[in-house]
Structure 1
Amino acid sequence: MSSSDDDRSRQYSLTGHAVAVLAASEPVAHEDWRGYTFRQLDAAAGAVKGTAFRAFKRHRAALREGEDYLWLDGVAHPALREALLARGLLYPAVANITLISPDVSARLLSGRGFPGAGAGEGKA
């Protein structure tokens, strides 16, 4: 990653405006789960592709699958993947689906820390 990409990633959580933009958009529903895709988070923040994913990766150790995020195999859920692609909610090259809970999405966008994050990992 270049230093300019890293700078953009660190600046991901600039304002509460991005949180408001995301709150106005519809989360993706899957069974009894609701969450946002990385593409939705990038769009809400006005960030380049991959920014939300990198922020998520920095905090992944403090997050719980099934509670903070839901990972779905794209091969096992082809109808959902195709529907999200058709709605422009997934990047075309993405094989699998990750849905980030509304709370974690807001934390990533606002820069609030995560409980259990190690040193240097508390802010997006």
Structure 2
Amino acid sequence: MAKSEKTWSLREIDQARGDSKGTAFLAFKQLKDSFDEGRDYYYLSASQDAREIESLRKAGRIYETTVNAILLTEGGYSAILDYLDG
């Protein structure tokens, strides 16, 4: 993952918009087939990325119950917002 690249978690999107937990995730599921992993989002696996996931959890960027994390890039973030605002 490009460490210097700005990313947004699904929790951050829910909170910024005042949406209930899971709103951004449902939008992501609807758009996932049109997204490219590595360009629109990064998938963090509990087995391979446990340290980074725990860091995100401690920073409050993901929900406490998150197992595998999704971080959206600028393109993915914009697409989610467009979908939710559409």
Matched, 1:76 2:48: yes
Correspondent of 2:62 among 55, 80, 90 = 90
User: Is the radius of gyration larger for structure 1 or structure 2?
Assistant: 1
Q: Structure 2-normalised TM-score?
A: 0.84
CA contact (8 A) 2:11 2:61 kept: yes
Equivalences for residues 1-124 of structure 1 within 5 A: 31=3, 33-111=5-83
Gaps (5+ residues) in structure 1? 1-28, 113-122
Q: Deviations over 1:13-39 (max 9, x none)?
A: xxxxxxxxxxxxxxxx75354421100
Moved over 4 A (4+): none
- One-letter amino acid matched to 1:104: G
Unmatched runs of 5 consecutive residues or more in structure 2: none
Number of matched pairs: 86
Q: Which has the higher contact order (CA 8 A, sep 6+)?
A: 2
SS at match of 1:111: helix
Give the aligned CA root-mean-square deviation in angstroms. Answer: 2.2
